[in-house]
Amino acid sequence: MSIPHSPPTGGAVDARPVSFADALAVVAADPSTRPERMRQYRSAVASLGRVTGRTAENLPLAPSALRPLLVAVLPARHRMSRKRWANIRSVLANMGALTGHVTRRAEHHVPLEGAWAEAMALLPKTPQSAALTGFARFCQMQKISPTQGEEAALKAYRAFLLERTYELDPGATINSVRRMWNAAVDTVEGWPGRKLTPPHNPHVWALKFTAFPASLAAELDTYIGHLAAPDPFEKPLPPIGNYPGRAVRPLSPTTIADRRRGLVRAASVLVEAGQPIETITGLAALVTPVAMRTVLTDLCRQGGGRAWKGEALQMATNLFDVARRHLRLPEAELLPLLEIRTKVAHRYAGLTERARGRLAQFDDRRLLRKLFELPAELFKAADRLLKEGCPARAAAARERGLALAILLLLPMRRRNLAALDIERHFVRDQNGRVMTLCIPGTEVKNGIAIEAAVPPDLARRIARHLTVYRPLLPGMQTSTTRLFPGVGEKHRCPEAVGRNVSQAVRDAVGAEFNPHLLGHLAATLLYDADPNSGPIAQRLLGHSQLKITEGMYGVLSTRSGQRVWADLLDRKRDALWRNETSHGGRR
């Protein structure tokens, strides 16, 4: 074909086709295109148009323009299997290569040779190593050895994935390369090269605590220890201005960990604002009026500057508590801090538009039914994979099904789900059968214990998972009692557990999903069934106050009230009709 296979440079005019309609015309005019291949092209473009709601003329060939459309597709929503969608994307990539927008697969899937072959041979074969293999192939094509130019090579590889492939998430691929490369530097003897910059973790928003003076660490440990085990004879905190006094009580480990992270974050914000790190020698540096305004202003700016977020109110309360409870500042110094804290007025804004959109997916009863049936489908898939000789994939499928089944039984935070322990959190009868799930309040964020009766069917699923499937997980330690085991004796990362469940729902149900959404969905279904079921939803979700359930979980929606009103209208119409007919139509 005469179409160029690389983008034009300089001031050259780009003669490449723009849309898939143009691409179909180009490949149809090529005499070397076989009829059966042409049918595949037309079918793939038609399928892409169906799932995106666009015509072929409006489907761009450029990777940067097409990628957002591909990412938004949920194949299961269109009753399309993952394999079918992967085949369609492969055909589309072939069309992109024929028209010069995408690098041909054969060009960047070359066998590894020389230094790169020797380096990759040192690594154990895992499903995750594919990303690093792709990077190695790219470097080999660019004549870059394993010992030189790591960051520059990774930057070039990212540009290649963005501009010359239909890769759905190049950023995730680059982060995987960074993690595996750094792990190889630490654990693989003879691995060439230096460490890469670790991937950015959006959940880490503070400097390392070791960067601060040791005196700050010592004082923070003292304060945290007092929060965990206060003096039982300590007097209640007195009121300050219009701020009420309260009794001193021990806080839960989760709350203490959150408070510790918040104070480290406050110190980090001050450093970013220009305060020398060596001057932050104690907690007193965090609770001056200037420091408190600086920290809270940063949180407001990160929230868009339109309104205070919940974390800003928590930060203001925590800083004021340090000044009041730990430093015991006099009232004259506390009042300016209290004035700042009272300006942080947070209101529950209700469900976000994003959450409302995700909940609206399940107005389709077909999707809701598929969600409820998904655990059983994953259990069947695990049994099938085990028979087919795929033990690791079978164990992973079984684990996802079990996690979703437990969430459907009782929506909980992913942190509590990932940390489930067979011995500590499951109560058994005299025959060893699981009867109840119990998580003490000390392990829950708001201090309210989680309890649920485990149905017999789910109890049998748990028992079979423990005896048959959990031992098949890669790196499984036989001594661990974790339901979802991680490295060594630790449990699986909560983000990983949540991500696996979300991906399973996305693939099988065709819905954007995360574990936290189940709490919203449960409250929505309860409210739809009865507008007065707020206390039931509150107990199910373990909220300390009903206003949290009402403010954040959809009770403000008019749908449930409208259904009651519609039922009342129907009953009134029936009553009036019966009344009229009983009087022969006379009023």
CA angle 473, 474, 478 (to 5 degrees): 65
What is the model's pLDDT at position 408? 94
- Tokens of residue 229, six digits: 């085990």
What is the model's pLDDT at position 418? 94
What would the pLDDT profile of 475-517 be if each residue is shown by its tens digit?
A: 777 778 999 998 778 898 898 899 999 999 999 999 999 999 9
The crossing angle, in degrees rounded to 10, of helices 150-164 and 63-71 is: 80
Contacts of 4 (CB under 8 A, 6+ apart): 15, 16, 100
What is the model's pLDDT at position 349? 61
The DSSP 8-state label assigned to residue 20 in this structure reads H
| Under-50 pLDDT residues of the chain | 1-5, 555, 587
What is the model's pLDDT at position 4? 39
Q: What share of the chain is helix, strand, coil (3-state, %, to 5)?
A: 60, 5, 35
Taking the C-alpha atoms of residue 550 and residue 541, their distance in angstroms, rounded to an integer, is 12
What is the model's pLDDT at position 576? 78
**Residues written for the chain:** 587
What is the model's pLDDT at position 209? 79
DSSP element (H, E) containing 582: helix 559-582
Contacts of 241 (CB under 8 A, 6+ apart): 331, 335, 338
Taking the C-alpha atoms of residue 209 and residue 265, their distance in angstroms, rounded to an integer, is 9
Contacts of 539 (CB under 8 A, 6+ apart): none
What is the model's pLDDT at position 369? 94
Contacts of 207 (CB under 8 A, 6+ apart): 264, 267, 268, 271, 277
Sheet of 450-453, strand order: 426-428, 434-439, 450-453
Taking the C-alpha atoms of residue 252 and residue 441, their distance in angstroms, rounded to an integer, is 8
Taking the C-alpha atoms of residue 512 and residue 503, their distance in angstroms, rounded to an integer, is 9
> What does the DSSP assignment read for 113-178?
-HHHHHHHHTS---TTHHHHHHHHHHHHHTT--TTS-HHHHHHHHHHHHHHH---S-HHHHHHHHH
Reference 407, options 437, 428, 370, 363; nearest CA is 437
What is the model's pLDDT at position 584? 60
What is the model's pLDDT at position 557? 60
What is the model's pLDDT at position 377? 96
- Tokens of residue 507, six digits: 């693939």
What is the model's pLDDT at position 267? 93
What would the pLDDT profile of 104-132 be if each residue is shown by its tens digit?
A: 887 778 889 998 999 888 887 776 677 88
> What does the DSSP assignment read for 213-259?
-HHHHHHHHHHHHHHHS--TTPPPBPPBTTBPPB---PPPHHHHHHH
Contacts of 153 (CB under 8 A, 6+ apart): 135, 138, 139, 142, 144
Q: What are the residue ranges of helices labelled H in 53-113?
A: 63-71, 82-98, 105-108
Q: Are 253 and 264 in contact (CB under 8 A)?
A: no
Reference 139, options 127, 148, 128; nearest CA is 148
